[in-house]
Amino acid sequence: MSKRALILIDIQNDYFAGGKWSLEAMQIASTNAARVLAAARAAGDKVIHVRHEFEGKDAPFFAPGSTGADIHPLVQPLAGEAVVLKHQVNAFLGTDLKAQLDAAGIEQITLVGAMSHMCIDAAARASADFGYATTVIHDACATRDQAFEGRSVAAGQVHAAYMAALAFAYASVVSTEQYLAG
Question: Would you give per-residue pLDDT tens digits along the chain (182 residues)?
Answer: 789 999 999 999 999 999 999 999 999 999 999 999 999 999 999 999 999 999 987 899 999 999 999 999 999 999 999 999 999 999 999 999 999 999 999 999 999 999 999 999 999 999 999 999 999 999 999 999 999 999 999 999 999 999 999 999 999 999 999 999 98
Reduced 3-state DSSP string for 18-73: CCCCCCECHHHHHHHHHHHHHHHHHHCCEEEEEEECCCCCCCCCCCCCCHHHCECH
Taking the whole predicted model, whether its pTM rises above 0.95 is answered as yes
CA dihedral angle for residue 32, residue 36, residue 38, residue 40, rounded to 10 degrees: -170
